[in-house]
Amino acid sequence: MSNAVAEAPAAADPAVQSFLVTFIVRRFDPEQDAEPRWVDYDVELFSTDRVLDALHKIKWEVDGSLSFRRSCAHGICGSDAMRINGRNRLACKTLIKDLDISKPIYVEAIKGLPLEKDLIVDMEPFFASYREVQPFLVANSVPEKGKERVQSIADRAIFDDTTKCILCAACTSSCPVFWTDGQYFGPAAIVNAHRFIFDSRDDNADVRLDILNDKEGVWRCRTTFNCTEACPRGIEVTKAIAEVKQAILRGRP
């Protein structure tokens, strides 16, 4: 007779348990709908899944007409910015375990930009503002042959934070001023201007400051911090805007 003792079954690992999660997605098809409509979907997910995984399951297994943008799916390209439970986030970086799945999860397109279809907006107004602030290095001096334009660690640190922008529009489309004033440059354009205004190698800071010293420039910012909270890269957007304001008033340090 065996003396072996039967072991109790191991407890299920919560991390690999699946859950039925309800998503309510704001749908819009310009060929069929006069106004956007909310559609609900029940999706089987793991806690470690992302909202992007849920959207994939809906599109691939439930409703192939669902439209949304995504590319790298790893928080680098910024193409899948959307409103999730009323907050601007990247779908690829928003984990199911960080949401309250006892309630439906609401997903809709970012605000303030023309809605094209479902979760897709027309990004051209956003990129037009970005281009207008001249987001590129303008250097009049020519470095010594075979040499680079040198910069100290301290000088680089001044604008290091604003180099992280991935142009997802999460900050700009979270701004209440941008929602009501489509002419406002918006936080992302100002962030990208900041990146070059404070670059010691650049010679075009005064031009950018003049562009932003406009009624639709930095002075439209109301310092609500929505942009900082929305940034998926953790950029201190409101601080950058304040620094550009100071540079307009006092000059670049």
Encode the chain (253 residues) as per-residue pLDDT tens digits.
445 545 545 545 555 689 999 999 999 999 999 999 999 999 999 999 999 999 999 999 999 999 999 999 999 999 999 999 999 999 999 999 999 999 999 999 999 999 999 999 999 999 999 999 999 999 988 888 888 989 999 999 999 999 999 999 999 999 999 999 889 999 999 999 999 999 999 999 999 999 999 999 999 999 999 999 999 999 999 999 999 999 999 987 6
Of 181, 193, 177, nearest to 227 by C-alpha is: 177
Measured CA to CA, the distance from residue 96 to residue 53 in angstroms comes to 9
Cβ neighbors of 231 (< 8 A, separation 6 or more) are 170, 171, 237
Contacts of 74 (CB under 8 A, 6+ apart): 92
pLDDT of residue 11: 47
CB atoms near residue 135 (< 10 Å)? 17
Which bin fits 77, alpha (ψ -120 to 50), beta or left (φ > 0)?
alpha
Q: What's the rounded Cα separation, in Å, for the pair 174 and 157?
A: 27
- Cβ neighbours, 10 Å, residue 115: 17
Residue type, 76: I
Task: Give CA 247 to chain center in angstroms.
Answer: 26
User: Where along the chain do the CATH 3.10.20.30 domains lie?
Assistant: 17-121
Residue bearing tokens 């709908």: 33
Contacts of 242 (CB under 8 A, 6+ apart): 223
The pair of three-digit structure tokens given for residue 240, joined into one six-digit string: 């950058």
3-state DSSP call for residue 110? coil
* Fold assignment, 17-121: Ubiquitin-like (UB roll) (3.10.20)
The CATH 1.10.1060.10 domain(s) of the chain lie at 124-139+156-250
Q: Which residues have C-beta within 8 Å of that of residue 22, sequence separation ≥ 6?
A: 40, 41, 42, 43, 104, 105
Which residues lie across from 14 on neighbouring strands?
none
- The per-residue pLDDT for 142 is 85
Question: For the structural domain made of 124-139+156-250, what CATH number should be given?
Answer: 1.10.1060.10
